[in-house]
Structure 1
């Protein structure tokens, strides 16, 4: 569906349901001399990591900065740090996720001991493994029976809608968000959905590894049907796979789905019947609670048309199996161990390369945080986010916004009239730091002891209904789409806002005891990243009021495309796995944001020096420490399966290549002496300079 375009630092989507959300944080053994995360400093006046905020012992000085700055700055850490058995990748984000989960667990453990505490009751229902196992598939059996009991495709679509509202995946994505061309109102969005694999390429691409995954996926579908007591599971699973492959054929690519203009398409209720025949739209919309709207926004029109045709062409029994498998897949993490382990074996191990599942308590914390995040977040902030941290972050955001303003004012290639509008947009920014001003009310959410699946389903329905209630109401400009415990940040173009949850505002991103250069290279560049998303290839299309509109001159658009085409070409050339390159068109927005974020954060750092020269610390200059701060944030390593999945479906480049953004920055060359002939060296005329 056409969800709000939230361009996040690490994950570029929000999850409105918790049924299929599975975060698998863990911890790895700490290599000697390498900082893997925040630890209590020996001296309260010293930074938590290293002598000035960066772990110098984690470098690999056998590599020159000009050969590969990631390897130079992080190679020692990469060699010494194994990926935990219950992780598909590992890095600084994951270290902070571990810390956040551990802190959140203390809140949930206390809540579990408090009578009638909803959060505690929910957590306890997850942690009672014996009770969950004893129920087997019983919690979802009524849903499966209802699906099998449908006598025609209209009745089945209605049943799918009812289950979709409770968190089971469906054929069509449905949600509520701001109208991009009228951001003062909410609208219903619809778009392509229905796949069980991460992307259409998994079904369609001629690749040996993907072919193996396709075979394993069909075996997984067979196992799930078998566990549910269904006969002839293999043949039925093969038929469902064939249906999903047909859906994949109709789907747009992720690059096509990035385009804010192409994905804005108004349809009336009558248009669905005319443009996408074969699906019972009227009954489905009624069951989803979205009928009677004056219009709807459809993200991928031809895909929706194609999905309707697939529905019409597919026999009812296959559609019923498709719907049952959606239920089983979505709720497997909350069913008995046989379902849970089968689900993890495919999605965790086969698809992502993770050998072991995370401990149950971590999965429980993630589940409850996804369901009632702001109820937990209120306590999290009180315990772990002091007012002075918020004040410091506020000032950093102001400094980086000011640096972006200077960059805009001094642009040689942008027309004066566009520049004026761009500065007005920047001045209208709303930064959100730490946590919401008003906390979400969960009083209407029913949580029952010993009913894990029911609690998850009711939490999903609660969130869906909360979104439906927005229709016809004023825009809630105080709403957050991440919890305070989230290690991430995002930009929302229709709100013209940048948002930084509390949990990211700590080492290695930010440490008040660290050298300012490291903080500006870390959290400063993160702040700049999110700010600049409002001026990336899609964010630039939204004006100061968050309206999708054409406010640039044609000449500016043409010049901007020259820059972005060069950046696409640069990232297309990276080959993180043999034969598999980064998709420069898919990762363009994030790559622009990394480039701009570093650029403006560097300016902000130098402005903070007040004309003075930064001191030498441990033999490093201020500029070197700034770029170390950036490299330290992206210390990451992947299992091959997870890296393949990232390259196929993630709008972010891998951490290694994000560090290599420095290749485009003139001050980096001066700081580290990269020279012609070295692998990462770019001639001045080949460096991409946008802002």
Structure 2
């Protein structure tokens, strides 16, 4: 996906984005599949699951529990998931549908996607090969020296193995009609710098377990002195964490735009050979956009001082982790034991067929997508969604006109930006060609190795090319949505346009509270604390008056303060600054969707259904899509690393909305009640 730092913003956490076992066939056998349901579930009688409500809870005390409390009490998290909610319900459906398509393809020996799918399922063949497929690469790493380190890091990057820096091609934020190479901090094996630096006992436990995991990988690979070497990797990464930027700073589009010549980068960070690295990844550029300059310089300095053995061992363990799924079972199990069970609390590895669906859909995404769209995305769904987007864009335009804090000249530019939007619904208008990607039966490791190489080469191919506006950053099978600031676009894959988010036969109030609010959320991202920095051409530039910026920032900080008070886990509060963009998009998007819903009524009164008014059903539709149960470890990781608030806090954004008060009559003294002058209103 073409992207630059802080430009692409998705609706939901990756963790929220799927139990039965299957015996893997040997290569060349037809894949036998159990029939699965491929129908989206209808919710209740009008699109909302009233049975999932807890009417003993007052809406003014906890709207999330009022709408979802019984569902939450009665719904267990599947053993192969770290959390579970409405997104996962549709992800399961999407996976089941894709599985059926790939199983059909696997019966054709000439099908590339069928071969990729069946070969990934062949765990017996993978086990029989042992470590032989990765040994040539491990042999290269054992020959690592300070002189060839940058070249080996580039080679690792080309095959999807994370090194000390992240790099990729995206639009130049200040020249969005051209592609540029981006460079960012990396080098951590744990999810965030806080996992290395905070004294929280749970994070100390994670560090201890991580060191044991690294030692186990080295031992499985036949290496000696594994414990001492693992401790050295952890110590090195702790130093990297100390110089790394926080996630709050790293989401700031202004701070992370630092364009410089490669010569100046090399002077700033002399400890790493960037010229060799960029040449090695196929991007011999003259300039680069550096996201976190002090961190990049700090990491380069640490590399220059680190023993060669530590640099080697870090790349070795990253390689074993990155390819564990196509190595013997002991590696696969060890990786899941740490990253799945220890870090997220998930007790059971996903069934192999699910992981094969994920691999094939990633390696040959457009080839799989074509089949999925043809079978599961009817044109009439796209047409209805297109109209909803137009309605909510119109509502957002009307809200801009009513703003009292924005100057008229800025409003005019805001209207221009909305007029420039490109909505993308369902699937791309063109498909990529994988004819030069070699997929071999019986070579699961090689298929993954070559697919990673193909994707990296496709990424750097964009340098010097015209902007590929038709490309997507998600597959149609993905249950999510996103806003791309540089492209000035909002994108809604086919798989999210289903119940409970959207059902053409459901009550319009629920549809507007569900997919309508999702549409509003993505529109609003272009006007959140970072999206608002991009103009109608997708340029990162100052297009507001200074007074507008001051007033806007003051309003946004009220939302930061509100979310800073939430404590989803004892002793661990939300980071209102980290989650500001998502909370702001929820606030504005839900408001715009409600306006559009009222307009859709054509001046008529909404009917009462099951004793619920139209506005009540609208807000319940919103709450329903955010129902989610979490394992404690997964929730802790989300609070530390994710810009999305948990489902309960996302639902309760309604406490800032006057129509919600009119609909549910919360009273002073109830937990969610805010006096009118305390409610946050931005857009």
Q: 1:133 maps to what in 2? A: 127
Give RMSD over aligned pairs: 1.5
Alignment match of 1:11 (pick from 3, 10, 13): 13
Residue 535 of structure 1: CA displacement? 0.3
Residue 472 of structure 1: CA displacement? 0.6
Q: 1:609 maps to what in 2? A: 601
Q: Mean Cα displacement is larger for which, 405-414 or 523-532?
A: 405-414
Q: Mean Cα displacement is larger for which, 1-10 or 307-316?
A: 1-10
Distance 1:659 1:357, change over 3 A: same
SS at match of 1:618: coil
SS at match of 1:582: coil
Q: 1:70 maps to what in 2? A: 64
Q: 2:357 maps to what in 1? A: 365
SS at match of 2:495: helix
Gaps of 5+ in 2: 21-35
SS at match of 2:289: strand
Residue 495 of structure 1: CA displacement? 0.1
Instruction: Measure, in 2, the Cα distance between the counterparts of 1:333 and 1:56.
Output: 41
In 1, are the aligned partners of 2:259 and 2:288 still within 8 Å (CA)?
yes
Q: 1:168 maps to what in 2? A: 161
Structure 1 position 576 matched with structure 2 position 568: yes
Structure 1 position 496 matched with structure 2 position 488: yes
Alignment match of 1:392 (pick from 375, 384, 388): 384
In 2, are the aligned partners of 1:132 and 1:334 still within 8 Å (CA)?
yes
Alignment match of 2:636 (pick from 632, 638, 644): 644
Q: 1:535 maps to what in 2? A: 527
Q: 1:458-494 deviations in whole A, cap 9, x for unaligned? A: 1111111111111111100001000000000000000
Q: How do residues 538-557 of structure 1 correspond to structure 2 at under 5 angstroms?
A: 538-557=530-549
Instruction: Measure, in 2, the Cα distance between the counterparts of 1:417 and 1:74.
Output: 44
Instruction: Measure, in 1, the Cα distance between the counterparts of 2:60 and 2:93.
Output: 34
Q: Mean Cα displacement is larger for which, 224-233 or 128-137?
A: 128-137
Instruction: Measure, in 2, the Cα distance between the counterparts of 1:80 and 1:613.
Output: 35
Residue 156 of structure 1: CA displacement? 2.1
Structure 1 position 512 matched with structure 2 position 530: no
In 2, are the aligned partners of 1:23 and 1:363 still within 8 Å (CA)?
no
Residue 3 of structure 1: CA displacement? 3.9
Structure 1 position 91 matched with structure 2 position 85: yes
Instruction: Measure, in 2, the Cα distance between the counterparts of 1:447 and 1:185.
Output: 32
In 2, are the aligned partners of 1:435 and 1:484 still within 8 Å (CA)?
yes
In 1, are the aligned partners of 2:6 and 2:251 still within 8 Å (CA)?
no
Structure 1 position 329 matched with structure 2 position 321: yes
Alignment match of 1:246 (pick from 227, 233, 239): 239
Structure 1 position 266 matched with structure 2 position 259: yes
Q: 1:116 maps to what in 2? A: 110
Structure 1 position 306 matched with structure 2 position 298: yes
Residue 272 of structure 1: CA displacement? 2.0
Q: 1:44 maps to what in 2? A: none
Q: 1:286 maps to what in 2? A: 279
Instruction: Measure, in 2, the Cα distance between the counterparts of 1:508 and 1:93.
Output: 9
Instruction: Measure, in 2, the Cα distance between the counterparts of 1:664 and 1:177.
Output: 36
Residue 134 of structure 1: CA displacement? 1.3
Gaps of 5+ in 1: 13-21, 28-36, 42-46
Instruction: Measure, in 1, the Cα distance between the counterparts of 2:453 and 2:475.
Output: 19
Q: Mean Cα displacement is larger for which, 160-169 or 375-384?
A: 160-169
In 1, are the aligned partners of 2:559 and 2:580 still within 8 Å (CA)?
yes
Q: How do residues 16-55 of structure 1 correspond to structure 2 at under 5 angstroms?
A: 25=18, 48-55=42-49
SS at match of 2:183: strand
Q: Mean Cα displacement is larger for which, 510-519 or 457-466?
A: 457-466
Residue 324 of structure 1: CA displacement? 0.6
Instruction: Measure, in 2, the Cα distance between the counterparts of 1:217 and 1:467.
Output: 31
TM-score by length of 1: 0.95
Structure 1 position 231 matched with structure 2 position 217: no
In 2, are the aligned partners of 1:66 and 1:672 still within 8 Å (CA)?
yes
Structure 1 position 429 matched with structure 2 position 431: no
In 1, are the aligned partners of 2:16 and 2:85 still within 8 Å (CA)?
no
Residue 4 of structure 1: CA displacement? 5.9
Q: 1:100 maps to what in 2? A: 94
Residue 168 of structure 1: CA displacement? 1.0
Count of residue pairs the alignment pairs up: 666
Residue 24 of structure 1: CA displacement? 8.6
Residue 280 of structure 1: CA displacement? 1.7
Q: 1:431-450 deviations in whole A, cap 9, x for unaligned? A: 00000011111111111111
Q: 1:408 maps to what in 2? A: 400
Q: 2:31 maps to what in 1? A: none
Instruction: Measure, in 1, the Cα distance between the counterparts of 2:39 and 2:309.
Output: 59
TM-score by length of 2: 0.96
In 1, are the aligned partners of 2:11 and 2:521 still within 8 Å (CA)?
yes
Q: 1:193 maps to what in 2? A: 186
Alignment match of 1:341 (pick from 315, 333, 347): 333
Q: 1:337-361 deviations in whole A, cap 9, x for unaligned? A: 1000000000000000001111110
Instruction: Measure, in 2, the Cα distance between the counterparts of 1:247 and 1:131.
Output: 39
Q: 1:74-122 deviations in whole A, cap 9, x for unaligned? A: 0000000111111110000000000000000011001111122110111
In 2, are the aligned partners of 1:26 and 1:98 still within 8 Å (CA)?
no
Q: Mean Cα displacement is larger for which, 268-277 or 340-349?
A: 268-277
Instruction: Measure, in 1, the Cα distance between the counterparts of 2:147 and 2:489.
Output: 42
Instruction: Measure, in 2, the Cα distance between the counterparts of 1:425 and 1:267.
Output: 29
Residue 39 of structure 1: CA displacement? 8.2
In 1, are the aligned partners of 2:476 and 2:495 still within 8 Å (CA)?
yes
In 2, are the aligned partners of 1:26 and 1:94 still within 8 Å (CA)?
no
Residue 512 of structure 1: CA displacement? 0.7
Instruction: Measure, in 2, the Cα distance between the counterparts of 1:156 and 1:237.
Output: 19
Instruction: Measure, in 2, the Cα distance between the counterparts of 1:659 and 1:637.
Output: 13
Structure 1 position 596 matched with structure 2 position 598: no
Q: How do residues 459-498 of structure 1 correspond to structure 2 at under 5 angstroms?
A: 459-498=451-490
Task: Return structure 1 stretches of 4+ with deviation > 2 angstroms.
Answer: 1-4, 37-41
Instruction: Measure, in 2, the Cα distance between the counterparts of 1:472 and 1:280.
Output: 23
